[in-house]
Amino acid sequence: MKTIEKPGHISVIGAGYVGLTTAVIFANSGIKTFLIDVNKDKIYSINRGKSPFFEENINGLINSAIMSRMLVPTTSYAKVIPKSDIIFCCVGTPDNADGSSNLRFVFDSLKEAAVLAKNGVIFVQKSTVPVGTGSKLMKSLRNTAPKLDFSYVSNPEFLREGTAVADSLNPDRIIIGGDEIRALQNVADLYLAVGSGPLESSIKKADFIYTTLESAELIKVSANAFLALKISFANSIAKLSDKVDADVVEVMDGIGKDRRIGRAFLNAGRGYGGGCFPKDVSGLISTAKDSGVELEIMSAASAVNSSMPDYVVDKLQSRAGTLRGKRIALLGLSFKAGTSDTRRSPSVVLANSFIKRGATVLAYDPEAKFEDGELSNKVRLVKNFESAVRGSNIAVVATDWPEFINMNFEQIAKLMKGNVLVDCMNALDKRRAVKAGLDYLGVGRS
Ligand code: UGA
């Protein structure tokens, strides 16, 4: 049996979903972990045991790691980088206007670390970067710190927002890409230390897959692109289902039973959003273009996705008539349940589209936070479900939060003035809704 080397100190740069989750898991596994972020407010909040964003089960892990002093959140590279054996890069990679990835934070943060790092350090890339970034970055780090002896490893992350902790502790696979066996092994040892530590996890059962740097980079974006493709496929079949009186949920249940296909990520609805799929799809299209490859299939997936919010609004309009002057209760604004994140949320696109068509929108979400100003200021945010629904002509479930899925249809029917219920996530019990007197409208569920 392989012996696990005692892991040294690590730094994690970037306290977003990936960085904070990675840091608290390592710290709770007995590994001294420095968490660096330039945002003082984030570091202040984490030092007080509170995540800067909503994420299930994370505050308990932050608290225990801070109490045991195994997690040291800081804004200072100088204080912690010289003591670090392994440095994880978990900074954001937003997209540029042309769809390509903006790698400024990745390059800047690792260059800042390289001038302070000690010889033998291993840089581990967890940020989602286009294939080819690692080799460019290594060149840049050699220019920045010519005397530094370092290794570079790509170790992409597959956690989902909302289930970040559980996903990290129970991965299907751990991808580790690079040329230097020692570095790959040291990174694997960190995960094995988590697998043998106090946190309940199935890491030891995960497949450890060692690849070249480029393959690891491409695995990450291709995995997201493929999942996005599945969703757009389901949405295309949903449009057809509407025309031929089929129910897309039944269709996907039927095809998903084929083990070669699988049921996951075949839920049709208002389309995908968030900080990953939209930008990773456009990033992959852009990288492919740079290499002379036209990824038509991904362009089609992206176009289908962009069409979905309007498809839902048009469908509603043909059922309920003009939306001008109608009062709409919009339930859910985050890009999916379990997260406060509203980046590229189709629910926000829906809200704005209702406003454009002259409706009054009262929106409620249990956790959503707005940082990017994408939501029209005409949307009235209310504090609870009832305030949104009371007196509305139309209720729209735009995000599949459990409190919406489990709503009492009789109660909602009484509270509403009208009776049209739009299920943008196909997550509600259609029969029960109809039984309660609601005019149910799903996506592809004629
Ligand atoms: C996604 C991937 O699932 C993770 O594996 C990956 O690590 C992450 O991106 C990332 O690159 O960081 P995430 O963006 O958190 O995770 O959310 P998902 O659960 O994948 O959902 C993405 C969007 O697709 C949501 O808007 C969701 O509502 C939508 N979706 C998902 C559907 O419309 N239908 C489905 O069947 C599944």
Q: Supply the DSSP string of 221-266, one letter for each residue.
A: HHHHHHHHHHHHHHHHHHHHHHHHT-BHHHHHHHHHTSTTT-STT-
The alpha carbon of 347 and the centre of ligand 1 are apart by a number of angstroms equal to 14
User: pLDDT at residue 13 above 90?
Assistant: yes
The alpha carbon of 277 and the centre of ligand 1 are apart by a number of angstroms equal to 7
The pLDDT of 390-409, averaged and rounded, is: 97
What pLDDT does residue 3 have? 42
Nearest alpha carbon, ligand 1 atom 16: 160
Counting atoms of ligand 1 from 1, which one is nearest the CA of 274? 14
Within 10 Å of residue 6's Cβ, how many Cβ atoms?
Answer: 9
DSSP three-state, residue 165: helix
Q: What percent of the chain has pLDDT over 90?
A: 95
Q: What percent of the chain has pLDDT over 70?
A: 98
The pLDDT of 298-327, averaged and rounded, is: 97
Nearest-angstrom CA–CA distance, 208 and 221: 18
Q: Residue 97 corresponds to which tokens in the numbers above?
A: 């206007």
Q: What residue type is assigned to position 414 of the chain?
A: K
Q: Residue 173 corresponds to which tokens in the numbers above?
A: 């696979």
Instruction: Quote the DSSP letter at residue 96.
Output: P
Write the pLDDT tens digit of every residue in 155-206.
Answer: 999 999 999 999 999 999 999 999 999 999 999 999 999 999 999 999 999 9
Write the pLDDT tens digit of every residue in 352-367.
Answer: 999 999 999 999 999 9
Distances (CA, A) of 432 to 251, 408, 420, 428: 20, 9, 14, 9
Nearest alpha carbon, ligand 1 atom 31: 265
The alpha carbon of 272 and the centre of ligand 1 are apart by a number of angstroms equal to 7
Residue 347 C-alpha from the chain's centroid = 15
What pLDDT does residue 8 have? 87
The alpha carbon of 179 and the centre of ligand 1 are apart by a number of angstroms equal to 31
Residue of 101, 217, 280, 336 best suited for mutating to test ligand 1, as the one with most atoms within 8 Å of CB: 336
Counting atoms of ligand 1 from 1, which one is nearest the CA of 265? 36
Bridge partners of 122, per DSSP, are 86, 151
Instruction: Quote the DSSP letter at residue 322.
Output: -
Residue 41 burial by Cβ neighbours in a 10 Å radius (0-12, 13-18, 19+): exposed
**Predicted confidence band at 336 (pLDDT cuts at 50, 70, 90)?**
very high
What pLDDT does residue 370 have? 80
Residue 40 C-alpha from the chain's centroid = 23
Counting atoms of ligand 1 from 1, which one is nearest the CA of 161? 15
The alpha carbon of 161 and the centre of ligand 1 are apart by a number of angstroms equal to 8
Nearest-angstrom CA–CA distance, 218 and 235: 25
Nearest-angstrom CA–CA distance, 236 and 224: 18
**Predicted confidence band at 7 (pLDDT cuts at 50, 70, 90)?**
confident
Counting atoms of ligand 1 from 1, which one is nearest the CA of 228? 24
Average pLDDT, the chain: 96
User: pLDDT at residue 321 above 60?
Assistant: yes
**Predicted confidence band at 397 (pLDDT cuts at 50, 70, 90)?**
very high
User: pLDDT at residue 263 above 90?
Assistant: yes
Nearest-angstrom CA–CA distance, 39 and 97: 24
Nearest alpha carbon, ligand 1 atom 5: 158
Among 326, 327, 321, 441, which Cα is nearest to 390's?
Answer: 327
Residue of 53, 90, 231 best suited for mutating to test ligand 1, as the one with most atoms within 8 Å of CB: 231
Which residues have any ligand 1 atom within 6 Å of their CB? 128, 157-161, 224, 227, 231, 265-267, 269, 272-274, 276-277, 335-336
Write the pLDDT tens digit of every residue in 201-219.
Answer: 999 999 999 999 999 999 9
User: pLDDT at residue 4 above 80?
Assistant: no
DSSP three-state, residue 108: helix
For tokens 């497949």, the residue is: 207
Nearest alpha carbon, ligand 1 atom 8: 160
What pLDDT does residue 99 have? 86
Nearest alpha carbon, ligand 1 atom 22: 272
pTM: 0.95
What pLDDT does residue 5 have? 52
Residue of 89, 128, 276, 400 best suited for mutating to test ligand 1, as the one with most atoms within 8 Å of CB: 276
Phi-psi region at 145: left, alpha or beta (left = phi > 0; alpha = psi -120 to 50): beta
Q: What residue type is assigned to position 92 of the chain?
A: G
The pLDDT of 406-413, averaged and rounded, is: 96
What pLDDT does residue 446 have? 79
Instruction: Quote the DSSP letter at residue 204.
Output: G
Task: For CA atoms 208, 211, 215, 216, give the dihedral sign.
Answer: positive
User: pLDDT at residue 1 above 60?
Assistant: no
Nearest-angstrom CA–CA distance, 76 and 69: 17
**Predicted confidence band at 369 (pLDDT cuts at 50, 70, 90)?**
confident
The alpha carbon of 118 and the centre of ligand 1 are apart by a number of angstroms equal to 37
Counting atoms of ligand 1 from 1, which one is nearest the CA of 266? 36
Nearest alpha carbon, ligand 1 atom 20: 160
Write the pLDDT tens digit of every residue in 421-444.
Answer: 999 999 999 999 999 999 999 999
Who wins on pLDDT, 370 or 381?
A: 381
User: pLDDT at residue 375 above 60?
Assistant: yes
The alpha carbon of 302 and the centre of ligand 1 are apart by a number of angstroms equal to 14
Nearest-angstrom CA–CA distance, 16 and 121: 23
* Residues designated as active site: 276
Write the pLDDT tens digit of every residue in 279-293.
Answer: 999 999 999 999 999
